[in-house]
Structure 1
Amino acid sequence: MAIDVTALRAHFPSLDHGLAFFDGPGGTQTPRPVGEAIAETLTGPLSNRGTISPSELNAERSVTEFRAAYADLLNMPADAIVHGRSATQLTYDTARVLARGWGAGDEIVVSRLDHDCNVRPWVQAAEHAGATVRWIEIEPETAELDLESYERVLSPRTRLVAVTAASNVLGTKPPLRRIADRAHEVGALLYVDGVHYAAHHLVDVPALGADLFVCSPYKFLGPHCAVLTGAPEVLESLRPDKLLPSPDTVPERFEFGTLPYEILAGARAAVDFLAAVDPGAGTSRRERLTSSLGSLHAHELALRTRLEEGIRGLGDAVTLHSKAQDRTPTLLMTLEGRDPREAQIHLAARSVLATAGQFYAYEPFTALKLEGPALRVGLAPYNTADEVDRLLEGLADFLRPTT
């Protein structure tokens, strides 16, 4: 079914300001139910987790409901859901623990397609451990991951492969199942950055073949935090440093200090909001998410098609670098002879928000020989066809020669 975009947008107070947000890849706008869940939890009654007082039980409930929601979203067990401040923090923590078992002769594989949060933690951990780093390259002509280079770097010495499920700048979605199967054939773990992917697709971590998977709720209508999940046997094998009195059970083993109960409540509310967009006849939350996210994907794909057709109409003045066959509705572009930062300013004056920068995508920018910033346009569930047209009109006006 087609989603009711007008009804959807009514839940977002920030949209009342007339701004057209195409900066979703950096963080989406937040619907009112998410903010209300945060405020209601924070204003309590609220204490540290416990089993006696109402305030303790409220804290306990926020944790339990958070884990259950993300278990449904990611198709994983609830006791395999770990909260973190950010995907970068969770990846650094995981890299430090895994690297304790690495040494000379071991090899770690990372990709030129990835956001730096799924590159530098592994590169630095490998350097500290004396392990060797190998690279999966990008095919510049297609913006696809070069799977032949992946085959060349895999070996029985490979301990871990780190790769994105979707590029945060190019949108490219590499064939994760194929990558996972080959990693497992040589005995390596697969760590997947799913931050951008989870913003646009229903995630099924076991089906993707990921041993460890990280995503960030603030990319899909939630508050600023991150979630790590993984195969239970993998999580159980990891032994991070921890305070002596703190729990040693999974997932609490990986969560340091008092959890932000209000943030967990907001993150749970974001999942429930997504599940209610177009729930179909589903009875379970996972079924409702499947229907709703399928409809949202169709909506975003239709807008992406409209946007790309409009960009092609601008001619050679715009170079579109997002060219992969399978990709998200996120487009990276450069403008012939023009500074993308000036384009951002021009569009912002029209209340259209699209950001210029490198977006922590150091390796993709280097591989594509993009020396300066580029303009990134990302679609989100609340975007409309009229907003796409406003963006295209603003770009056309910016590119129009002046006399």
Structure 2
Amino acid sequence: MTFDIAAVRSRFPALADGYAYLDGAAGTQVPTCVIDAIASAYRLGIGNVGGPFPASARSMTILADARQAVADLVGGEASGVVFGPNSTTLIYRFAHALSATWREGDEVVVSRLDHDANVRPWVQAAERAGAVVRWAEVDVDTGELPVDQYDALLTDRTRLVAVTAASNILGTRPDVAAITAKAHAAGALTFVDGVHSTPHDLPDVRALGADFFVTSAYKWAGPHLGALVADPALLETLHPEKLLPSPDRVPERFETGTSPFADLAGVTAAVEHLAGLALPLPSLSRRDRLRVSMEAVGAHEQALFEVLLGGLGGLPDVTLHGKPARRTAIAYFRVAGHSPAAVAEHLAMNGVNVWHGHSYAWELTGALGIRDTGGAVRAGLAHYNDREDVDRFLAAVADLTG
């Protein structure tokens, strides 16, 4: 299993500007193959689906290919892939559809580890239905989401358990499979946010026990689109609000308006990009190629992250938040005497892109006690980052320490 970082970086034209892009948790850069796929779709001509002409047929093929590509990426079925403009919009859409069957006194379980996109839609839906919201708490010292607490949170009135596969600020990878097993034993559905985890750890929706799983292509080198994956039979039981003439079949009944066909061509190209990051293995299925590639990505990112985390930990005046046992390659930190905004600005002036603030981890930053004082600085690794990026980042942070 090989991973040629120089070859990988050469595929990303944006990296030519010389900056260290450590902002991938908010959105990655895209490789040339994705740019070309989007441009080619426009160049060849596309039309709405259902027409008797070649441009319409091309759009139908693009859409079918994108569904299959996402299914291969997460271990689902193509007929259970729903596309939307982003994961937040998709979660709101499904919160409306699912909560239509909730009754007063029903319960939903959310966690303070999650991005607010997998919290607020469920809280608001519960309020409309008269359902009760129960909270899974985070160990603020470690950043872990203890599984045992779900025994007390789940009852026979629990209708849904929402949980993230990885924290977008601490990187925590909770034991999702154990949580969903408890939820299913209680008769509840599970909704897993895979937006932050997918670029770093190849998902398997069945192994995770995810009835619903969301991911965002722009977090794994694709265009700005979201996708939800579920069992087609489960989707058949849901009836969202839709236009009367629009298709009522699954999965189309959940997709409002005309699909962004050119961007969907980019989705397929992005999945192929991920599948080809390790040694070429053309005889394998795309799912197996993805497995080999993402194992190589994980090893590359974690090796770099050891350097980054060790470097930060050795600097005076730096406070790192969270120390989970299993985590993605992301650090959330503060520098004494400097606001997170000032740290991010200093890093930008030194050619390093990072984000600062709460990063929509609203409940988690509140539990950490830093939401109202600027949050912290978030630096994360993507598969195109190299040692030079990490060294430049550490040098720039060191400039600010005592």
TM range (shorter): over 0.9
Deviations 1:288-343 (A, max 9, x none): 1011111011000001101111112103x111113100110011111222211111
Q: In structure 1, what is the equivalent of residue 139 of structure 2? A: 139
State the alpha-carbon separation in 2 of the partners of residues 9 and 195 from structure 1. Answer: 23
Q: Structure 2: state its 5+ residue gaps.
A: none
Taking a change above 3 Å as real, the CA distance of residues 351 and 234 of structure 1, as seen in their structure-2 partners, is: same
Q: In structure 1, what is the equivalent of residue 112 of structure 2? A: 112
- Tell me how far 1:149 sits from its aligned partner: 2.8
- Tell me how far 1:199 sits from its aligned partner: 1.4
Tell me if 1:217 matches 2:217.
yes
Asked if the contact 2:147/2:178 (under 8 Å) is kept, the reply is no
- Tell me how far 1:352 sits from its aligned partner: 0.7
Alignment: residue pair count: 399
- Tell me how far 1:242 sits from its aligned partner: 1.4
- Tell me how far 1:248 sits from its aligned partner: 1.0
3-state secondary structure, aligned to 2:100? helix
- Tell me how far 1:2 sits from its aligned partner: 3.1
1:33-52 map, 5 Å: 33-50=33-50, 52=52
Q: Structure 1: state its 5+ residue gaps.
A: none
- Tell me how far 1:378 sits from its aligned partner: 0.5
AA of the residue aligned to 2:261: Y
Tell me if 1:275 matches 2:278.
no
Q: In structure 2, what is the equivalent of residue 354 of structure 1? A: 354
State the alpha-carbon separation in 2 of the partners of residues 204 and 21 from structure 1. Answer: 28
- RMSD between aligned residues: 1.1
Deviations 1:235-291 (A, max 9, x none): 111111112221111110101111100110011110011111115535211111011
State the alpha-carbon separation in 2 of the partners of residues 46 and 323 from structure 1. Answer: 48
- Tell me how far 1:173 sits from its aligned partner: 0.6
Q: In structure 1, what is the equivalent of residue 311 of structure 2? A: 310
Deviations 1:1-22 (A, max 9, x none): 2310101111111110101000
State the alpha-carbon separation in 1 of the partners of residues 263 and 279 from structure 2. Answer: 24
3-state secondary structure, aligned to 1:103? coil
Q: In structure 2, what is the equivalent of residue 250 of structure 1? A: 250
User: What's the TM-score, normalizing by structure 2?
Assistant: 0.97
Taking a change above 3 Å as real, the CA distance of residues 326 and 292 of structure 1, as seen in their structure-2 partners, is: same
- Tell me how far 1:50 sits from its aligned partner: 3.1
3-state secondary structure, aligned to 2:160? strand
User: What's the TM-score, normalizing by structure 1?
Assistant: 0.97
Q: In structure 2, what is the equivalent of residue 294 of structure 1? A: 295
AA of the residue aligned to 1:159: R
State the alpha-carbon separation in 1 of the partners of residues 280 and 60 from structure 2. Answer: 31
3-state secondary structure, aligned to 2:264? helix
- Tell me how far 1:54 sits from its aligned partner: 1.6
Q: In structure 1, what is the equivalent of residue 174 of structure 2? A: 174
Deviations 1:95-115 (A, max 9, x none): 011111111110010000000
3-state secondary structure, aligned to 1:139? coil
Asked if the contact 1:190/1:211 (under 8 Å) is kept, the reply is yes
Deviations 1:79-99 (A, max 9, x none): 011101111100000001111
State the alpha-carbon separation in 1 of the partners of residues 146 and 314 from structure 2. Answer: 30
- Tell me how far 1:377 sits from its aligned partner: 0.5
Q: In structure 2, what is the equivalent of residue 20 of structure 1? A: 20
Asked if the contact 2:202/2:291 (under 8 Å) is kept, the reply is yes
3-state secondary structure, aligned to 1:250? coil
3-state secondary structure, aligned to 2:159? strand
AA of the residue aligned to 1:310: G
Deviates more, 1:274-283 or 1:345-354: 274-283
- Tell me how far 1:44 sits from its aligned partner: 2.7
Asked if the contact 2:73/2:287 (under 8 Å) is kept, the reply is yes
Q: In structure 2, what is the equivalent of residue 378 of structure 1? A: 380
3-state secondary structure, aligned to 1:169? coil
AA of the residue aligned to 1:117: A
Q: In structure 2, what is the equivalent of residue 76 of structure 1? A: 76
